[in-house]
C-alpha cells in the first residue's frame, strides 16, 4: 500500500463526507501519490480517512469503473475471430462523467489528476495485453477497440489491409469495373439488392469476392494500374492492381491458396501485403495485340510504312478538356491477315487508349474529334478501327 500523508487524508475525508466515490475515482484525484494503480491508491486513502464516508453510487462514474473487467471479457470474446499484432483502446463516456469530475476538482482545487477516460482505456488495455500477449500501439494499431459506456456496446475496428496483386483474364465478356445499376444509377434499389451496382460479373466483383473470403473482410476497394475493354484478355504476367481490404478479420494469408485457378477465368497471378497504396499511379508499359479492320484494301507496303512510322516514336494525345501530352511507342510490328485486316503487336506507355491509337478519333455530339496523332488511320491514309485487343504483358517501372 502506498504511503498517504496527513494533508491528503484530511482533504479526502472532507470530500468523501459529501461525495461517494469509488476507489478508482478517489485515487485519481491525488496524482502526488506515486506508484500503484488509482484503485490501490483509493483503497489506501480510504483506510486513512477517519470520517464516515457518504454512501451511494460513485458521484463521478456511477460505479462504471467496476465494469472494467466485465468489458474486458466482452472484448476478449469478440477478438477471438481476429488476427492482430497490436491494438489501441478508445472509450466513449457520458458527458456528465467528465462534467462531475471537473466540478469536483474545481470545488476542492484538485490539480494534475488523470482524466477518467485515460484511466478506463489504460486499465482495459492492460487486461487485454495481459490476456492476448499483444502490445498497445498509439500510432497505427492493427485493431482499435471502442468501449462505449453510453450504449454499453463494444466496437472493433480493424485497420484496413493493403495488397498489391496481378490478375489474368482468360475469358472475354467481363468488364474490369463494376457497373452501376441501370435502374437506380447507383442509388440502390430492389433490383440491385440496394448495392447500387449491376449484378453482371466483372473483374472487380470476382477479385473482391476472393479477397473478402480470404481475409474475412467487409469489402474491398480497388485502384487499377490501367484498364482493358470487356472483350479483352489479360495474359502474360497479368495486370497489376492495388486493393484496400476493409475491416479484415485475417491479416495473413497463404499466397499459394489465393493463386488457385478459378472457374470464372479471372485468376490471381500474384498477391502480397503492402504498407500502403501509392498516392500516385506507377509508371508502366503494356504490350498489346490488336486486331485492325480497314475500310479499304491495304498492301504490305502500307503496313511496312506503318511499322517504320510508329516504331520507337511518340504520339500526341489531345484530350477534350485537358492539356495535350505525349506517350511513347517502343515497339511496333504489324502483319497482314487479309487485304482488309491486320494484326498489330506493340509495346507502349501505359494509359494510351488502344482503340484511339488505331482510329485516331472519337465521337462527341455527332462529331469525330482527333485524339491521338499520328495514328494508324492517319499514317496509311485509310480509315482503320480496332474491334478487339488483348493485353500480352504489363511492366511496372521500378517494381
Q: Are residues 227 and 207 in the same domain?
A: yes
> Given a cut of 50, is residue 81 above it in pLDDT?
yes
Q: Are residues 389 and 292 in the same domain?
A: yes
Which CATH number characterizes residue 68's domain?
Answer: 3.30.2130.30
The DSSP 8-state label assigned to residue 265 in this structure reads S
> Given a cut of 70, is residue 9 above it in pLDDT?
yes
Q: Are residues 315 and 392 in the same domain?
A: yes
Q: Are residues 185 and 83 in the same domain?
A: no
* 312 within some domain: yes
Q: Are residues 166 and 227 in the same domain?
A: yes
Encode pLDDT of 214-227 as tens digits.
Answer: 999 999 999 999 99
Mean pLDDT, range 335-352, rounded to an integer: 97
* 339 within some domain: yes
Q: Are residues 115 and 216 in the same domain?
A: no
> Given a cut of 80, is residue 3 above it in pLDDT?
no
Q: Are residues 291 and 372 in the same domain?
A: yes
Least trusted range by pLDDT, from 9-18, 80-89, 264-273, 323-332:
264-273
Cell of 91: 472509450
Average pLDDT taken over every residue of the chain:
92
* 211 within some domain: yes
- Using DSSP, state whether 141 is helix, strand or coil: coil
Which contiguous run of DSSP H or E holds residue 391?
strand 384-396
* 74 within some domain: yes
Encode pLDDT of 93-120 as tens digits.
Answer: 999 999 999 999 999 999 999 999 999 9
* 307 within some domain: yes
Rounded Cα–Cα distance for residues 100 and 121 (Å): 19
* 279 within some domain: no
Number of domains in the chain: 4
Q: Which domain holds residue 238?
A: 161-274
Encode pLDDT of 193-241 as tens digits.
Answer: 777 778 788 999 999 999 999 999 999 999 999 999 999 999 999 999 9
Q: Are residues 166 and 263 in the same domain?
A: yes
pLDDT at residue number 367: 58
Rounded Cα–Cα distance for residues 368 and 362 (Å): 5
The DSSP 8-state label assigned to residue 107 in this structure reads H
Rounded Cα–Cα distance for residues 162 and 144 (Å): 17
Mean pLDDT, range 306-320, rounded to an integer: 94
Q: Are residues 259 and 171 in the same domain?
A: yes
| CA nearest neighbour of 203 among 250, 269, 288 | 269
Degrees to nearest 5, angle at CA 234 with 230 and 235: 155
% of the chain residues with pLDDT over 90? 79
Encode pLDDT of 20-34 as tens digits.
Answer: 999 999 999 999 998
Amino acid at each position: 500500500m502506498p504511503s498517504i500523508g496527513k494533508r491528503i487524508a484530511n482533504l479526502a475525508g472532507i470530500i468523501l463526507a459529501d461525495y461517494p466515490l469509488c476507489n478508482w475515482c478517489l485515487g485519481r484525484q491525488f496524482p502526488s501519490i506515486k506508484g500503484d494503480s488509482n484503485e490501490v491508491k483509493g483503497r489506501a486513502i480510504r483506510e486513512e480517512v477517519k470520517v464516515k464516508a457518504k454512501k451511494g453510487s460513485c458521484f463521478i462514474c456511477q460505479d462504471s469503473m467496476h465494469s472494467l473487467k466485465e468489458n474486458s471479457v466482452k472484448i476478449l470474446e469478440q477478438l477471438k475471430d481476429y488476427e492482430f499484432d497490436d491494438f489501441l483502446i478508445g472509450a466513449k463516456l457520458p458527458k456528465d462523467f467528465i462534467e462531475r469530475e471537473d466540478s469536483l476538482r474545481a470545488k476542492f482545487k484538485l490539480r494534475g489528476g488523470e482524466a477518467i477516460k485515460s484511466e478506463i482505456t489504460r486499465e482495459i488495455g492492460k487486461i487485454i495485453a495481459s490476456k492476448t500477449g499483444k502490445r498497445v500501439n498509439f500510432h497505427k494499431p492493427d485493431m482499435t477497440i471502442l468501449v462505449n459506456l453510453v450504449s454499453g456496446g463494444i466496437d472493433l475496428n480493424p485497420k484496413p489491409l493493403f495488397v498489391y496483386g496481378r490478375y489474368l483474364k482468360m475469358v472475354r465478356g467481363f468488364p474490369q469495373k463494376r457497373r452501376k445499376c441501370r435502374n437506380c444509377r447507383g442509388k440502390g434499389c430492389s433490383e440491385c439488392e440496394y448495392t447500387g451496382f449491376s449484378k453482371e460479373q466483372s473483374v472487380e466483383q470476382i477479385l473482391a469476392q476472393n479477397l473478402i473470403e480470404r481475409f474475412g473482410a467487409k469489402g474491398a476497394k480497388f485502384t487499377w494500374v490501367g484498364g482493358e475493354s470487356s472483350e479483352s484478355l489479360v495474359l502474360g504476367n497479368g495486370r497489376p492492381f492495388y486493393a484496400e481490404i476493409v475491416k479484415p478479420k485475417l491479416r495473413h494469408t497463404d499466397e499459394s491458396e489465393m493463386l488457385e485457378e478459378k472457374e470464372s477465368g479471372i485468376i490471381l497471378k500474384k498477391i502480397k501485403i503492402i504498407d500502403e497504396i501509392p498516392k500516385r499511379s506507377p509508371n508502366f508499359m503494356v504490350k498489346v495485340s490488336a486486331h485492325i479492320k480497314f475500310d479499304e484494301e491495304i498492301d504490305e507496303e502500307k503496313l511496312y510504312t506503318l511499322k517504320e512510322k510508329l516504331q520507337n516514336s511518340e504520339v500526341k494525345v489531345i484530350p477534350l478538356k485537358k492539356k495535350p501530352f505525349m506517350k511513347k511507342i517502343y515497339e511496333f510490328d504489324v502483319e497482314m491477315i487479309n487485304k482488309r485486316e491486320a494484326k498489330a503487336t506493340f509495346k507502349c506507355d501505359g494509359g494510351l487508349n488502344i482503340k484511339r491509337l488505331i482510329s485516331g478519333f472519337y465521337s462527341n455530339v455527332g462529331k469525330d474529334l482527333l485524339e491521338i496523332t499520328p495514328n494508324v488511320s492517319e499514317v496509311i491514309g485509310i480509315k482503320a478501327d480496332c474491334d478487339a485487343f488483348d493485353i500480352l504483358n504489363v511492366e511496372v517501372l521500378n517494381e
